[in-house]
Chains A and B, each alone.
Chain A
Amino acid sequence: MTVLVYLDHEGGAIRQASRSAIAAASKLGDVDVLVTGPDAAAAAKSAAAIPGVKKVVQVTDTTGNSELAEPVASLLADLAAGYTHILAASSATAKNILPRTAALLDVQPIPDIVAINDADTFVRPIYAGSALATVKSADAKKIITVRASSFEPVASEGGNATIEEVALPAGPGGSTFIATELSKSERPELESARVVVSGGNGMLNEENFKLLEPLADRLGAAIGASRAAVDKGFVSNEYQVGQTGKIVAPELYIAMGISGQIQHLAGMKDSKVIVAVNKDPEAPIFQVADYGIVGDLFTILPQLEAELDKAG
């Protein structure tokens, strides 16, 4: 079995999430990869260095068409003949393209898998992660996106794959790429941030809540809040994390002065690593935290910043 993995890259550097997708693909068979875009040549070079990759398909395009789902979906459908599975890391780009490819191949896609049971059977979250469904596909080819956090990424160096250049098909036409605008805000958005620093009732007031900013700056984190903090007016309600606020699943979630009521947990319990600082050793947040510190957050917060500074 050979598997094709569509890779996301940024200016030629392969995203870590895509290396997780390669890790998932390796469980299914030999791995070829596809890179597209104006920097495809650079990306192909990086991709060829990833251990376990047999062949890189490189599609250089400077017209902007590789930003569009239509031609890329057609490309994948054209390439599909040689593969049993087509994979990509779950990203806005892959979600735009892969289902379209699936339609062209008369296949029902399998999005967001978190585990592979065998070549036909996969586990994926449904109902926003409230349940895990094990599903078996009856399609001859599988089209799959992968939750990166569930698969340890392969290394980025050590491999030596061949590179093959292929042209981008025209696709059905009708759509034109106009522009991409990356958000320049200093703080990442809450729902897509890699790190979230959240404050609760324990922050006591609006003034103190601002103390979280330097920490967030150091970690490149978004700021979140519990409902108690929002209700008391420390921050506005777009910061609220939880059942009735935003649902987040960052790699690192730091809860400062948050008790961890179930309604708050509903919004962050899928975070990869949870850190809690709370002066009450019985606070329910400690039942879900990977690392906890029992103590006064106003003492620990400056210490934490100092430690981060120290380590660089």
Chain B
Amino acid sequence: MSETPRETMEFDVVIVGGGPSGLAAAIRLRQVAPDASVCLIEKGSEIGAHILSGAVIEPRALEELLPHWREEGAPLNTPVTEEQMLYLTQKGSLEIPFLDRVMPHMNNHGNHIVSLGDFCRWLASRAEELGVEIYPGFAGAEVLVDDSGRVTGVATGDMGIGRDGQPGDNYAPGMELRAKYTLFAEGCRGSLTKQVTAMYNLRKGVDPQTYGLGIKELWEIPKEMHRPGLVQHSFGWPLDDRTYGGAWMYHFGDNLVSYGFVTGLDYPNTWLSPFDEMQRVKLHPAFRPYFEGGRRIAYGARALSEGGIQSIPRLTFPGGALIGDTAGFLNVPKIKGTHTAMKSGMLAAEAVAEALATDRVEPGSYTRRIRDSWLWTELRSVRNIRPAFAKFGMKGGALYSGMDAMLLRGRAPWTLHTRHSDNEVLEPASISEKISYPKPDGKITFDRLSSVFLSNTNHEEDQPVHLKVRNMSLWKTVNWDVFRAPESRYCPAAVYEVADEATDPHLQINAQNCVHCKTCDIKDPAQNIDWVTPEGAGGPNYPGGM
């Protein structure tokens, strides 16, 4: 396609993705190897544009990376002051007592409620001050590999290719960013990571990765109702015992509330709609009063890795490494992955600096550094909790995790395993129980399209569809005939629509709406959908506060 040859630029290190892991790696690299040239690309139109998180963060890794973060104005402005874990029934709720003992991983003392997007914007300015070259608006679209099988960088996507696949008037070819070492920091379910993983068979011998989908809204609520520092989580209603998930609500900043709902993507009921679950929980008496009289400011969604340590793949390969959530370093019971993402990035940076100095092909010491760090200890101690929920159900899982925490203190001599990928556990429409969701009221609850509007999502219209269905006929026989188009329910952005349902059902893809959550790439029952990077800068534009 590209008749015009691609331009090339050489760096010591290229980092793909400007989340906490990529930015922490970039900063650490320039700290330990000040002469190394470091280039970071980000597919969002700016740093933070695609960052979606809770987020209550633990400052542990930040403390190690930038000890003067307070003086340098890091936007960690709301310390956690109070926390509650609520077990919901349809009408009522029960607060779990002695939270710090039953669920010690939920203890948030010393943590802060932040906008992770704003935090990343701040990290990016620190990185730039240290001489990192950051280029937002460019997606890594292709992994470059040399004849010896070593990854030698990435190429950004072509711009100005029409929907028909032909270059248009403003066509600009992608660029090759060559590097001695490439760090993939794409966050959960990275698209290039997927390629590298296949190329080097990185998942051999580990459990399948499992995922959750987090759908979030940012609200501005009346001052009287705002309790800065309050952190709430819920489990129980409205999910059945076979479905993992729950809501969060964090009060922070100027009358802001981060509210959202995580649904384990190993849910079996094909009729389940994570979006509608998130909407209806707002109507529960435990949450509703906070939303009354408030205004919704932003909306978004993102998958997160839930497999834990059992699912972490081989981390290095010739010419690079995986860092952050694309490798799966999320502490699931804590729903915290920022500090672990940062730590993994920092350790990879140190390994790369060492490899640079000794001219090694693979930054192999990264794996050892991980195993020797607090990150590994932390993830090991919680390794059985999420699998227990999958194995014993929500109530059983909760019991197990209480027991694990209080009696075993995370040191159980056994390890529970996940056997199935999330796409394999969906049950056919014929045996799944239909769920009826309340209609949106336009005040507290909303429909998908008016929600996507608040994510400021856009993609250049005239470009190839970036959601690649490998085999359309498989869609009809599997997705439609067996599961009745689950993608029309799990996609939080109404990208997938069934057209002419009554006469000739076929799939319509509104790719322009996509908020890059990656759920379709994960949950499609036949693994028939590939999420690839659209033209750079496309996707959501999450505002400050998200």
Contacts and interface: CB of A to CB of B under 8 A. Distances in A.
Direct contact, A vs B (beta carbon within 8 Å):
yes
Nearest to B494: A261
B512 interface: yes
B449 A263 contact: yes
Contacts of B512: 244
Interface in A152-175: none
Contacts of B458: 244
A237 B450 contact: no
B449 A237 contact: no
B453 interface: yes
A237 B512 CA distance: 14
A104 B510 CA distance: 52
B453 A263 contact: yes
A133 interface: no
Interface residues of B, number: 8
A262 B461 contact: no
Given A237-B461, A244-B461, A231 B450 contact: no
Given A231-B510, A244-B512, A261 B461 contact: no
B510 A262 contact: no
B513 to A, nearest CB: 9
Contacts of B461: 237, 244
A233 B445 CA distance: 33
Nearest to A261: B449
B508 to A, nearest CB: 8
Contacts, number: 15
Interface string B447-466: 00110010000100100000
Interface string A67-104: 00000000000000000000000000000000000000
A266 to B, nearest CB: 8
Q: Which among B461, B508, B512 has the greatest number of chain A C-beta atoms within 10 A?
A: B461
Interface residues of A, number: 8
Nearest to B509: A231
Interface string A228-248: 000100000100000110000
B502 to A, nearest CB: 13
A231 B461 CA distance: 10
Nearest to B456: A243
A263 B494 CA distance: 13
A261 B510 contact: no
Nearest to A243: B453
B118 to A, nearest CB: 22
A202 to B, nearest CB: 14
Contacts of B508: 231
A232 to B, nearest CB: 8
B155 to A, nearest CB: 28
Nearest to A245: B461
A103 B221 CA distance: 45
A263 B456 CA distance: 11
A263 B452 CA distance: 9
B361 to A, nearest CB: 46
A262 B512 CA distance: 15
Interface string B373-389: 00000000000000000
B80 to A, nearest CB: 35
Contacts of A243: 453
A170 B512 CA distance: 54
Interface in B417-467: 449-450, 453, 458, 461
Interface in B211-239: none
Interface string A199-234: 000000000000000000000000000000001000
Nearest to A264: B449
B458 to A, nearest CB: 7
B445 to A, nearest CB: 14
B461 to A, nearest CB: 7
A239 to B, nearest CB: 13
Interface string A254-280: 000000011100100000000000000
Contacts of B449: 261-263
Contacts of A261: 449-450
A261 B453 CA distance: 10
A261 B458 CA distance: 16
Nearest to B453: A262
A70 B473 CA distance: 66
Interface of A: 231, 237, 243-244, 261-263, 266
15 contacts: A231-B508, A231-B510, A237-B461, A243-B453, A244-B458, A244-B461, A244-B512, A261-B449, A261-B450, A262-B449, A262-B450, A262-B453, A263-B449, A263-B453, A266-B453
Interface of B: 449-450, 453, 458, 461, 508, 510, 512
Which 6 residue pairs are nearest across A and B when measured between Cβ atoms? A262-B450, A262-B453, A261-B449, A263-B453, A262-B449, A244-B461
Given A237-B461, A262-B450, A262-B453, 8 more contacts: A231-B508, A243-B453, A244-B458, A244-B461, A261-B450, A262-B449, A263-B453, A266-B453
